[in-house]
Structure 1
Amino acid sequence: MNHLAHVSLVVRDYDEALAFYVGKLGFTLVEDTLLPEQNKRWVTVRPAGAPPGATTIQLAEASTPEQRAAVGNQAGGRVFLFLDTDDFGRDHARFTQAGVEWVRGPVVQSYGTVAVFKDLYGNQWDLIERTKDKSSS
């Protein structure tokens, strides 16, 4: 079956992006390979606990003026990525303790509990714990 392997996120600097995604959010570094012939690195991360083969975020260092202009605004000011959690309270507290900036605090919606945070560049993310489907229990 086909699946989405990577989502590319344009970043200003590989190492500062890794400090945020791995250091603050607790993501797992999947790969960091130097590509000397292209003068760049292949860097991928995924949320901690995601299974092997799950979609990764490819951190792509901006190298042109157009790419630098897109850093922090890849979705035109809308929420860009959605991070599911199995324990909203735990992850919200952990992110807050790590200094993550919240745009909108926790709200309970019909589909789950959600809050919006910014990454280090200003891209907006949803942290969401989806409502359990009571019909499947």
Structure 2
Amino acid sequence: MKQSIIHIALVVRDYDEAIEFFTNKLNFNLIEDTYQPEQDKRWVVISPPNSTGTTILLARASQSEQEHFIGNQAGGRVFLFLSTDDFWRDYNEMTSKGIEFVREPKKADYGTVAVFKDLYGNLWDLLELNPQHLMAKGRNK
């Protein structure tokens, strides 16, 4: 059997402001933006540049109880992990675009990491894994 996670839903306040943030500040690609009239919502899918893995479904909060989770989907913990092939390139570009880092870059045994907030306050790791960690991960499959 083979299974995979294809989308992760990220609850947002507004489709267009979320698209603007992710495409202009984080350089994500807009994969799909389809209006669904029967539910008065949009199917909006984004992904990091050159990514072939899991994508993010931007899901507008449609009920008041969902609004409470905007920006706090993981209860204040890091929620999403953005892997990069060049930490300092992306870190410098993100800071130049006004991305707020709440934990400064640090070297760890697995690689280089810093924590940033998205436009709603969800916490993300920006992470460049070191080659040894990547090789060890490949052996565990």
Cα distance in 2 for residues equivalent to 1:79 and 1:109: 16
SS of equivalent to 2:68 = helix
The 8 Å contact of residues 110 and 133 in structure 2, kept in 1 or not, is answered as no
Listed one character per residue, the Cα deviations across residues 93-129 of structure 1 (whole Å, up to 9, x for unaligned) are 1111111000011000011000000000000000000
Structure-1 residue corresponding to 2:101: 102
Cα distance in 2 for residues equivalent to 1:49 and 1:101: 24
- Percent identity reads 57
Unaligned 5+ residue runs, structure 2?
136-141
Cα distance in 2 for residues equivalent to 1:29 and 1:90: 22
Structure-1 residue corresponding to 2:57: 58
Q: What is the number of equivalent residue pairs in this alignment?
A: 134
Shift of 1:18: 0.5
Structure-2 residue corresponding to 1:23: 24
Structure-2 residue corresponding to 1:91: 90
TM-score norm. by structure 1 comes to 0.95
Cα distance in 2 for residues equivalent to 1:94 and 1:84: 15
Q: How does 1:1-137 map to 2 (within 5 A)?
A: 1-51=2-52, 54-133=53-132
Unaligned 5+ residue runs, structure 1?
none
**Structure 1 pair 135/124, CA: closer, same or farther in 2 (3 Å)?**
closer
2:87 partner amino acid: F
Shift of 1:23: 1.0
Cα distance in 2 for residues equivalent to 1:11 and 1:134: 33
**Structure 1 pair 63/49, CA: closer, same or farther in 2 (3 Å)?**
same
Cα distance in 1 for residues equivalent to 2:134 and 2:117: 34
TM-score norm. by structure 2 comes to 0.92
SS of equivalent to 2:56 = strand
